[in-house]
Amino acid sequence: MIDPHLNENDLLLRKTIRDFVDRELIPNASKYDLNEKFPHDAINKIAEMGLFRLGIDETFGGVEGTNMHLAIATEEIARGCASTAVIYASHMSLCSKYIELYGDLKQKSLYLPRLVEASTIGALALTEPDAGSDVASIKTLATKVDEGFIINGSKHFITNGQEAGIVIVVASTDPGLGSKGLETFILEAPSEGLTVTPQQGKLGIRASSTCELNFNNVFIPNENRLGKASKGFHMTMQVLDAGRILIAAQSVGIAQMALEISIQYAQQRKAFGNYISEFQAIQNKLADMATEIQAARLLTYRSAALSDYNQPFETEASMAKLYASKVAVESANQAVQIHGGIGYFAPNIAERLYRDAKVTEIYEGTSEIQRILIARSLLSG
């Protein structure tokens, strides 16, 4: 099918990843979910395909790539396994791209080659018990000493934190300064004074690890501070803006799989002597799902394209994240409804999608925060 929004290279990338997903991820996604184990085999195969190199400077082992390419990759991976998609997206947008954007030559040379090979997993340590969407309220303290900084505090809900060997840490030199006191650092893990505690009991995305990081006098040398002094808040907000494009893409992938399994099941399941796909009520559900998914995809593509052309994209990224996450939740809900009782039990794909979808409305800025950002843009224009 011709897609006017994608060029030949984009379509080839999508087909290559889709074939991989059909072959490797879809048959194993339920196993990853039920076992709640990090999918090392899938991540290794994604690394072999070169997807962790996308959009990173060739000098440091990367390959040519755009935010559109990252969105395509994330969507297709999420179609097969949402957990694997968020591992990929977090590694790329919150760690590799952070260093790509704001690291100096030494930092890029030291850390990016390991990240593009995925021999080391990356993470961003941002969220705290009392500072989620309100980043300016971060209390993790960075105290200046002669050779660097001493970090004390706690982070939680950290994606990839358990496996990460490179962690971007956001901390405050003075909590009284709010956003102006924030700095970001590159921490190599494991590190003396750093304790990693897995957080169990997640509703969905269960093969992606989430953990608490406790910092007890963790030393980070001066050369591992990222970017200019006191610019930690600004840098982190820019990274999160771009990251929302990939969460929108993940949402589209979840919704797309919900639609595909719903069509397949409706054409196989009979009730009252007819396939349920012949019932108008089911047809209406499928039509609405398909329309909403396409709208979410186009919003996502638009925000990615704007960012690739160095145009303002922050509001569009918030719109894409807000709408696509809503569509993911609604599509997964309809998939369970179409499947009926069988869709309520694991390891049915609909049941897994229903659980996986919800977090897309929460992480990297809740839907409520996205509405605030969108409204603020409208009212200031």
Q: Domain boundary at 178, 209, 230, which?
A: 230
1, part of any domain:
no
Q: Report how many domains make up the chain.
A: 3
In a domain? residue 46 = yes
Looking at residue 17, its pLDDT comes to: 98
**pLDDT per position as a tens digit, 18-27:** 999 999 999 9
Map tokens 């505690």 to a residue.
197
Q: What is the mean pLDDT of the chain?
A: 95
Contacts of residue 337, defined as CB under 8 A and 6 or more positions apart, other chains included, come to: 285, 343
**Domain encompassing residue 342:** 233-380
Q: Which two tokens stand for residue 113?
A: 């080659």
Q: What is the pLDDT of residue 136?
A: 84
Q: Does any domain span residue 129?
A: yes
Say yes or no: 246 and 366 in one domain. Answer: yes
The reply to whether the predicted model has a pTM over 0.85 is yes
Cα dihedral 13, 59, 112, 310 in deg (nearest 10): -60
| SS3 category, 182 | strand
Q: What is the DSSP letter of 63?
A: B
Residue, of 175 and 132, whose pLDDT is higher: 175
Tell me what pLDDT residue 89 has: 97
Angle at CA 209, nearest 5°, toward 203 and 215?
120
pLDDT digits (tens, 9 = 90+) for 169-190: 999 999 889 899 999 999 999 9
Query: Which alpha helices (H) appear in 201-279, and where do they start and end?
Result: 232-266
| 3 domain-assigned | no
CATH code: domain of residue 18: 1.10.540.10
Kindly state the average pLDDT of the residues 45-58. 97
Indicate if 128 belongs to the active site. no
* Annotated catalytic residue, options 128, 212, 314, 364: 364
**72 and 193 both lie in a single domain:** no
359 and 265, same structural domain? yes
Q: Which of 172, 205, 230 is the last residue of a domain?
A: 230
Residue 92 DSSP class: I
48, amino acid identity: E
In terms of phi and psi (left: phi > 0; alpha: psi -120 to 50; beta: otherwise), the region of 273 is left
| 182-188/225-226 β-pairing | antiparallel
Which of 65, 86, 120 terminates a domain? The answer is 120
